[in-house]
Amino acid sequence: MFNTKKKVLAIAGVATVAALALAGCSSSSSLSGGSGSSAKESIVVGSANFSENTILAQIYGQALAADGFKVSYKPNIGARAVYFPALEKGTVDLIPEYSGSILSFVDKSAVATSPDDVNAALAKALPSTVVAYQSAEAADSDSLNVTAEFAKTHSLKSIGDLKNAGPITVAANPEFETRPDGLPALKSLYGLDNITFQAINDSGGPATLKALLDNTVQVADIYSTTPSIEENKLVTLTDPKNQFASQQVIPLVNKKKASSKVEAVLNKVSAKLTTKDLLALNAEVSGDKKTEPDVAAKDWLKSAGLVK
């Protein structure tokens, strides 16, 4: 069970970022519409050190604030190896996670790939101090993409359809060539013997996109919430055999702050959040608009009817 982007983040700047983020430099936030109680329960919401996770932290945090909780934030904590122990200890009370990645972190032997299997395995594998609530439909995982023209020409909808597309070249990070869920799975799981591999080491970034649009390669591994997918009208091939482990967004909460009220608020958010929403939010924050994560989160919550 692999997710290269999350692995890169997991080793980046651990010591420096952790020292800053866990030193107690947090900010508070609340929305109108809360209970107005003078004894609000406090919740500290943390995030990993990349934009999408910061947006998710704001979404879950602002939903709690709107329901009367006193919410503060510790954004950009850094690596999973830093923020997960903080969650276990209660230095941070809530972290938005990705189901497959956190499962492989807490259980190195995990083999589950489908959404239901991953969630079930995660519930068993988490330490007793951490609770997982409902996962969202929204997911940020490896995805195989083709141009709209190529999809139309070869009637492509799923990964398995590539078998009838003639000789094709797949672009991905170098490790995809040997990863169990990479090239080997395309051959063993989907029976694709018509593929060659081209390593492009930018995690589905500009160089990979250029190669795909130029038809240097016909298939590209691009993370599913990358704005370039929508911007270039790429077609993401479905993965009915679960080659790639599910990476659904899932809120994790320290058990001391877990309650039916917290669960109800977070589950309402997860029930509304889709991969398409994440794509749009990422584009808004990282694209030309450069919207601040808290503003983008508030706008989404309003549009979803979760806050006023």
Can you give the residue ranges of every domain in the chain? 4-139+246-303, 144-236
Tell how strand 219-221 and strand 168-172 pair up: parallel
Which pLDDT does position 39 carry in this prediction? 60
With 50 as the cut, is the pLDDT of residue 43 above it? yes
Which pLDDT does position 8 carry in this prediction? 42
Say which residue, 18 or 256, is predicted with more confidence: 256
Which pLDDT does position 172 carry in this prediction? 96
pTM of the model: 0.79
Which residues, including other chains, have CB under 8 Å from residue 96's CB and lie 6 or more apart?
Answer: 47, 53, 56, 57, 59, 60, 249, 250, 251, 252
With 70 as the cut, is the pLDDT of residue 31 above it? no
Range in 21-30, 87-96, 221-230, 292-301 with the lowest mean pLDDT: 21-30
Specify whether the CB–CB gap between 211 and 232 falls below 8 A. Answer: no
Mean per-residue pLDDT over the chain, rounded: 89
Residue 166 burial (CB count, 10 A)? 10
Q: For 33, left (φ over 0), alpha (ψ -120 to 50), or beta?
A: left
38 confidence band (pLDDT: 50, 70, 90): very low
Q: Mind listing the pLDDT tens digit for each residue in 132-165?
A: 999 999 999 999 999 999 999 999 999 999 999 9
Average pLDDT over residues 28-32: 35
Q: Mind listing the pLDDT tens digit for each residue in 199-252?
A: 999 989 999 999 999 999 999 999 999 999 989 999 999 999 999 999 999 999
Domain 4-139+246-303 matching CATH 3.40.50.620: the answer reads no
The whole-angstrom separation of Cα 143 and Cα 72 is: 34
Asked whether the domain spanning 144-236 has the same topology as the one spanning 4-139+246-303, the reply is yes
Options 3.90.105.10, 3.40.190.120, 3.40.50.620, 3.30.565.10; CATH of 144-236: 3.40.190.120
DSSP H helices, the chain, are 4-10, 14-21, 51-66, 80-89, 99-106, 115-125, 148-154, 183-188, 206-213, 227-231, 260-272, 275-286, 293-303
264 confidence band (pLDDT: 50, 70, 90): very high
Element (H, E) at 42: strand 42-48
